[in-house]
Amino acid sequence: MIIIKTDKEIEKMRRAGQRLARLLDELLPKIVKEGTSAEEIELYVLKYVDEVGGIPTFKGYAEYPYATNISVNEEVVHGFPLKEKIFKYGDLVSVDCGITLDGYVADSARTYIVGEVNEEERKLVEATKESLLIGAKQAIIGNRIGDIGHAVQEYIEGQGFSVIRDFVGHGVGRKLHEDPQVPNYGKIGKGPKIRKNMTLAIEPMVAMGDWQVKILDDGWTTITRDGSKAAHFEYTVAVTENGPEVLTSLEYNSL
């Protein structure tokens, strides 16, 4: 069942979203660097979430043991924030996390470049972020969920990359995962109708090579089967009368 939020509920999600946006847009870019460990990021996030009066949404969700997913290079999603995961020059580091504040969730992800990468890897990161904006712009009243996925897929494949199909975006609100699912592929005019005050976590996951993935023995960490690098960006988006509103970015608001 798709849960339509009230304006007051969206305001609560907006407050959570702005706190999460500050973490991902402003603070973590200064910390994700050569020589930093994924565990250090995890501990920083836990401290920050506590300071802003929130709850780390991921920790304990479906028995996941951490507050963050930190995925490096061929890791697509759900990477563990381990102390032995030390960032190296040229790494692509995706950080995905959520904050629950006053009972409502904001969910978001960014991919950071450590040092410098080659032109194709930089293009991957930039294209993944751009595809998120392109997809989010389709989150308008009267459209269909398939319009979002189609827009993401068309753009990404036009750039020579692949959208991951095994994991998708989702509704978000009181719970981290609500209906509907929001794939990063699809057909125009298909899927549930988009209505005012729906709140969606739109999250393109993109590989340089093939889209197929496999899950490692820890039961969570997901990597590309061909070992190609991947990128991941995510916003929590509210559907308003004035168009999509990004709740989890300091850079963007209305699209």
DSSP assignment of the chain: -BPPPPHHHHHHHHHHHHHHHIIIIIIGGGTS-TT-BHHHHHHHHHHHHHHTT-EETTTTGGG---SEEEEETTEEE-----TT-B--TT-EEEEEEEEEETTEEEEEEEEEE-S---HHHHHHHHHHHHHHHHHHTT--TT-BHHHHHHHHHHHHHHTT-EE-SSS-EEE-SSSSSEEEEE-SS--TT-SSBP-TT-EEEE--EEESS-S-EEE-TTSS-EEETT---EEE-BEEEEEETTEEEESS-SS-SB-
* Tens of pLDDT, residues 74-91: 999 999 999 999 999 999
**Mean pLDDT on 210-236:** 98
Rounded to the nearest 10 degrees, how much is the dihedral formed by the CA atoms of 225, 156, 92, 116? 130
Q: What is the average pLDDT score of the chain?
A: 97
Question: Residue 17 belongs to what H/E stretch?
Answer: helix 7-21
Sorting pLDDT into bands at 50, 70 and 90, what band is 31?
very high
123 assigned to some structural domain: yes
- Give the three-state DSSP class for 191: coil
2 assigned to some structural domain: no
Tokens found for residue 120: 């194709």
Residue 252 has pLDDT above 80, yes or no: no
> Is 203 annotated as ligand-binding?
yes
71 assigned to some structural domain: yes
215 assigned to some structural domain: yes
Sorting pLDDT into bands at 50, 70 and 90, what band is 64?
very high
Omega prior to 180 cis, within 30 of 0: yes
Q: What is the per-residue pLDDT for 254?
A: 59
> Is 116 annotated as ligand-binding?
no
> Is 40 annotated as ligand-binding?
no
Sorting pLDDT into bands at 50, 70 and 90, what band is 251?
confident
43 assigned to some structural domain: yes
C-beta separation of 152 from 187 below 8 A: no
Q: What is the per-residue pLDDT for 173?
A: 98
DSSP string for 119-177: HHHHHHHHHHHHHHHHHHTT--TT-BHHHHHHHHHHHHHHTT-EE-SSS-EEE-SSSSS
**Mean pLDDT on 236-247:** 97
251 assigned to some structural domain: no
Question: Residue 9 belongs to what H/E stretch?
Answer: helix 7-21
The total domain count for the chain is 1
97 assigned to some structural domain: yes
Residue ranges making up the domain that contains 174: 7-246
229 assigned to some structural domain: yes
Tokens found for residue 87: 């960032």
**Mean pLDDT on 139-167:** 98
CATH number, domain of 66, equals 3.90.230.10
Residue 108 has pLDDT above 70, yes or no: yes
> Is 150 annotated as ligand-binding?
no
Q: How many residues does the chain have?
A: 255
- Give the three-state DSSP class for 101: strand
Residue 255 has pLDDT above 60, yes or no: no
Residue 104 makes CB contacts below 8 A (sequence gap 6+) with 9, 12, 13, 16, 173, 174
> Is 96 annotated as ligand-binding?
yes
Sorting pLDDT into bands at 50, 70 and 90, what band is 6?
very high
**Mean pLDDT on 115-125:** 98
